[in-house]
Amino acid sequence: MAQTKQYETVIGLEVHVELATRTKIFCGCSTAFGGEPNTHTCPVCTGMPGSLPVLNKQVLKYAVAVGLATGCEITRNCKFDRKNYFYPDNPQNYQISQLYLPICRNGKVEIETEDGKKFIGIHEIHMEEDAGKLIHDEWDDCSLVDYNRSGVPLIEIVSEPDMRSSQEVIAYLEKLRMIIQYLGASDCKLQEGSMRADVNLSVREAGTERFGTRTEMKNLNSFKAISRAIAGEAERQIDLLESGEKVIQETRRWDDNKGESYAMRSKEDAQDYRYFPDPDLVPVVVDEAFLEEIRAQQPEFREEKMIRYKQEFELPDYDIDIITASKRMADLFEATVALGSHPKKVSNWLMGETLRLLKEKNMDPEDIRFSPENLSRLIALTDAKAVNNSVAKEVFEVMFERDVDPEAYVEEKGLKTVNDEGALRKTVEEIIAANPQSVADYRSGKQKAMGFLVGQTMKAMKGKADPGMVNQLLKELL
């Protein structure tokens, strides 16, 4: 359908981030992923009568740290409120959250856009508890509930409606993720749900001031899904307006497989959550000393790291940009360099093989398992020419999988380069004797034959020879 008017898309985000605390927000249960159902539970996080919540102070520390890093005002006297709604994943049938006095307000983060830098406002950040997980057993026609996730701490970061395109949304999310990962407050994995974004979107005629009616889109599990959902929803709303219909304020669920969304609930049947201050939790008083403690613990953020890497390690800008894009990568880089490895060589391994394998296996830098010690050992092995490059890559792949000690592995598998000239010379002589046609070709000036003979020698040496040395010996003997 031909569009008659120009439209602008207006987007605000509600981002839920699962905090990396060891224990839950209101009890001492473990937050570890993947336990047997209902094993990381206690009377508090299963809503038993008589149980009471007690705030985990680390949650407050992380929330304040994120607030400070995003330029927020910190509420000195904040409170928790109960959000009342009935659902079996919510054992008390109310969620402890913050409505009236959230911990952080009025912040902003800077993003890069096609038109330069831009600030995205942060309306508020509040702390809350996660719900349990429902498992629907179609076979037995029943539902089961696992409360291991119930009470896992979350922060919800609510942006202002300041974004105008999916590129800006992705830039904002990447920036938030980077800040939070640098703080160590969360690993922010979209696929695993430790970072979740709900998209509030409306469209309006270009040049107008008033916002259009917005919808809220849920179930967005990847940056790609977010981009597709934004494009799809903007188009749907524009189509409605173009055909003279109205956008209904509602919550919609995105189905990324079908590439379309459907309405979950409209504003009319929106629930009344009957928010009120939770009388079981006393107001949280944030004093100057506490703020100072958090400020003192703030890490070196990406911008500062980039400057330092250039001065201290003399890395090319391209390398710095890639390595500092992930806190995990930057930490790994610094730890390996600290063990004495050459910065550029470390950088090459991270940017080359590491990124390649991450991409191939669809993993995040947070999932990297090999240690800086083993990477450093591998670099030392190549420096000493104890292994050649192709063997090193082979060893690295194993290291990437199970963090093996490269020295021990090379030893065990007999992958060490054979530097014994006598042994090599013997093999080369055998290869020359076995391939008279190639020898004749080479002597008649066909350079290609040399490559074949090198390859045959390497094969006979099971890849463990130094290719330079093989070349040299072949030339000498021919």
Helical packing angle, 467-477 and 421-434, nearest 10°: 60
The token pair at 201 is 């979107």
Q: How far is the CB of 42 from other proteins (least distance, A)?
A: 9
Q: Which CA distances in Å does 278 have to 78, 101, 182, 324? A: 12, 12, 32, 41
Distance (Å, whole) CA 184 – CA 128: 18
When asked if residue 7 is in the footprint of other proteins (CB under 8 A), the reply is: no
Q: Which CA distances in Å does 397 have to 316, 361, 368? A: 25, 12, 12
Based on CB atoms, which residue is closest to other proteins, 51 or 221?
Answer: 51
Q: How far is the CB of 51 from other proteins (least distance, A)?
A: 7
Write down the residue that tokens 């159902």 correspond to.
37
User: x/- binding map, residues 259-298, to other proteins, per CB under 8 A?
Assistant: -------------x-xxx--xxxx----------------
Based on CB atoms, which residue is closest to other proteins, 50 or 340?
Answer: 50
Helices (H), 273-342: 288-297, 302-308, 317-324, 327-338
**Residue 372: CA atoms inside 13 Å, Cβ hemisphere, count?**
18
The token pair at 458 is 């390497």
User: x/- binding map, residues 14-43, to other proteins, per CB under 8 A?
Assistant: -----------------------------x
Specify the stretch interacting with other proteins by CB under 8 A; choose among 45-53, 172-180, 207-215, 321-329: 45-53
Q: Which of 32, 52, 135, 440 binds other proteins (CB under 8 A)?
A: 52
Q: How far is the CB of 143 from other proteins (least distance, A)?
A: 8
Q: How far is the CB of 137 from other proteins (least distance, A)?
A: 14
Q: Which CA distances in Å does 284 have to 74, 103, 325, 414? A: 11, 9, 34, 62
Q: How far is the CB of 152 from other proteins (least distance, A)?
A: 19
Based on CB atoms, which residue is closest to other proteins, 7 or 94?
Answer: 94
Distance (Å, whole) CA 463 – CA 474: 16
Q: How far is the CB of 200 from other proteins (least distance, A)?
A: 20
Q: Which of 39, 57, 73, 93 binds other proteins (CB under 8 A)?
A: 93
The token pair at 199 is 């998209």
Q: Which of 1, 86, 140, 444 binds other proteins (CB under 8 A)?
A: 86
Q: How far is the CB of 266 from other proteins (least distance, A)?
A: 16
Q: Residue 18, class by beta-carbon neighbours within 10 Å (0-12 exposed, 13-18 middle, 19+ buried)?
A: buried
Q: Which of 91, 102, 151, 153 binds other proteins (CB under 8 A)?
A: 91
When asked if residue 51 is in the footprint of other proteins (CB under 8 A), the reply is: yes
Q: Which of 15, 24, 45, 53 binds other proteins (CB under 8 A)?
A: 53
Answer yes or no: are the C-beta atoms of 354 and 319 closer than 8 Å: no
**What part of residues 406-465 is at the interface with other proteins (CB under 8 A)?**
none
> How many residues are listed for the chain in this entry?
478
Distance (Å, whole) CA 130 – CA 284: 20
**What part of residues 135-164 is at the interface with other proteins (CB under 8 A)?**
145
When asked if residue 84 is in the footprint of other proteins (CB under 8 A), the reply is: yes
Based on CB atoms, which residue is closest to other proteins, 52 or 408?
Answer: 52
Positions touching other proteins (CB under 8 A) are 43, 46-55, 82, 84, 86, 88, 91-94, 145, 272, 274-276, 279-282
